[in-house]
Structure 1
């Protein structure tokens, strides 16, 4: 009888074992295992449908602190069928200072701010974004977007009910620009010249110099430093190391990243070439 199976009894701690109780009698997991055992323990078959996508609701919503929401997850299979997998999906809150989630997919906002809840099932993943505004309304009339990125950031500020910090001083700006772009501090002479300059676009000009975008070889002096610094950061993200690809493969990928940065390769092209790369790692990275 299925009820006599050690798989069930050990998992329910009816029989003692080192793994502890995994589920209780009558739970969903218990019912699934009983059905599987009753069917004669059928093995997987080669043409079993596989999960090809997930639908998650809600994808994003605003919460008050202590307010909750049950997620719903529907899996789409390769045979075009759909199945509600809310009970069996895996949930992880990525910032538990803002939101928590139960193993059944119930979100609770516990603080103000923004957090993501990762949902995984069958090799697929989706994210539900939790927003708990700091205030209901925020006045952003004093902020003027300079580009479409600023417009998206401004929309997020409104949703979060938060304001941007005031603009930094020129001294703070040049220090941050150097550290963020090439990982080192500017010289004393460069700082003094920057602070004395009255050009309204001096901050834009500084960024172009650091990234080597001025087109003037006498000013584009940091291309090597910038590409090396950010190749190191990308290498960490991509886990580029000799254990994975050997010494030759590691340097091949590192050099390709540096070259891509020096050529100002668009990010979408950069990612596409990594994903679709073929051939020898020693030649192509």
Structure 2
């Protein structure tokens, strides 16, 4: 458990004691806010503000100007040490939280190489000020832990040039949830088809097709999938031969894209030989296939390729490259 460092606690104990005394009594007291947790409440603010990216304070080994944070907050204990203890605690000042170097730099009141990261009127800034004023708690062992995030909606069919606001909900180990839409990060996998703002507003552009928006929050990822129809009517679909056909045809129907017509035998044999065996068909294979009158000859060609050593070699090499296998492994 990381301990809380308070270099200021020996300065003016009498002054702090006086501040802690109530000025007047009230029959109706405001309920006390739940203490902040560094991992759950503070790290997401730093991530949203890009403070812990490789281009900023998570730069390898040195960070920026001696201030080093872990990449995307994956080592919160290191981050806590750097913010609270490093440099004899000079980055935080609980007697006047908004005058902490952490806040002055983030708001660019004191010149900051990365520019302004937080507006003093923003929720993130106010949360950081409150955390410093509370004495920079790290959190207790029994505090709830983040177990996942959900994005709503997670799938939608949208026309071109349309908008959809997303809602992101964080789920915790004690069963509680929190709306973290404003603190999540959003990125479309094809920026020519859709764009996503920092507030979770997604806009489709002029291109039809499938596009996904990745949503990240505190190490967890969820996805919002969008289908943007072309608009062409789909009147008939060929019969599905397997579950892959069913998924492909359903997607084409959603997108309003009619399936391509069946190719001729020469094209089919070349394509299937390259896709399954990683090679062109031999002259003998081509001649036998073209002369065959069997209505199931395409299915038989696929089965033959799947049972050939070419298939095993081709896909073994594919997966070796993808998994970066080495002989000594």
| Contact kept? 1:63, 1:109, Cα under 8 Å | yes
Structure 1 segments (4+ residues) deviating >4 Å: none
Aligned to 1:115: 211
The number of equivalent residue pairs is: 233
Q: Which residue number in structure 1 is paired with residue 251 of structure 2?
A: 156
Q: Which runs of 5+ in 1 are unaligned?
A: 213-221, 250-285
Q: Which has the higher contact order (CA 8 A, sep 6+)?
A: 2
1:240 aligns with 2:324: yes
For structure 2, which runs of at least 5 residues remain unmatched after alignment? 1-95
Counterpart-to-counterpart distance in 1, 2:153 and 2:99? 41
In structure 2, the partner of 1:168 is: 263
Shift of 1:149: 2.8
Give the distance between the partners of 1:142 and 1:23, measured in 2 at CA.
Answer: 53
- Alpha carbons 2:184, 2:215 under 8 Å: kept: yes
Match for residue 230 of structure 1 among 297, 300, 315? 315
Offset at residue 234 of structure 1 (A): 2.3
- 1:204 corresponds to which of 296, 299, 316: 299
The structural deviation recorded for 1:136 is 6.3
- What is the CA–CA distance in structure 1 between the aligned matches of 2:232 and 2:244, rounded to whole Å? 23
Q: Does 2:118 match 1:48?
A: no
RMSD, matched Cα: 1.7
Q: What is the alpha-carbon distance in structure 2 between the residues aligned to residue 20 and residue 44 of structure 1?
A: 30
Structure 2 residue aligned with 1:28: 123
Contact in 1 for aligned 2:277/2:305 (Cα 8 Å)? yes
**DSSP 3-state at the match of 2:321:** helix
> Does 2:100 correspond to 1:5?
yes
Q: CA deviation at 1:145?
A: 1.9
Find the structure with the greater CA-based Rg: 2
The 8 Å contact of residues 51 and 123 in structure 1, kept in 2 or not, is answered as no
TM-score by length of 1: 0.76
The corresponding residue for 2:197 is 102
TM-score, normalising length: structure 2: 0.67
1:235 deviates by: 3.0
| Aligned-residue offset at 1:195 | 1.4
Equivalence map 1:77-96=2 (5 Å): 77-96=172-191
Instruction: Report SS of the residue matched to 1:26.
Output: coil
Between the aligned partners of 1:17 and 1:128, the Cα distance in structure 2 is 35
- CA separation of 1:28 and 1:241: change in aligned 2, threshold 3 A: farther
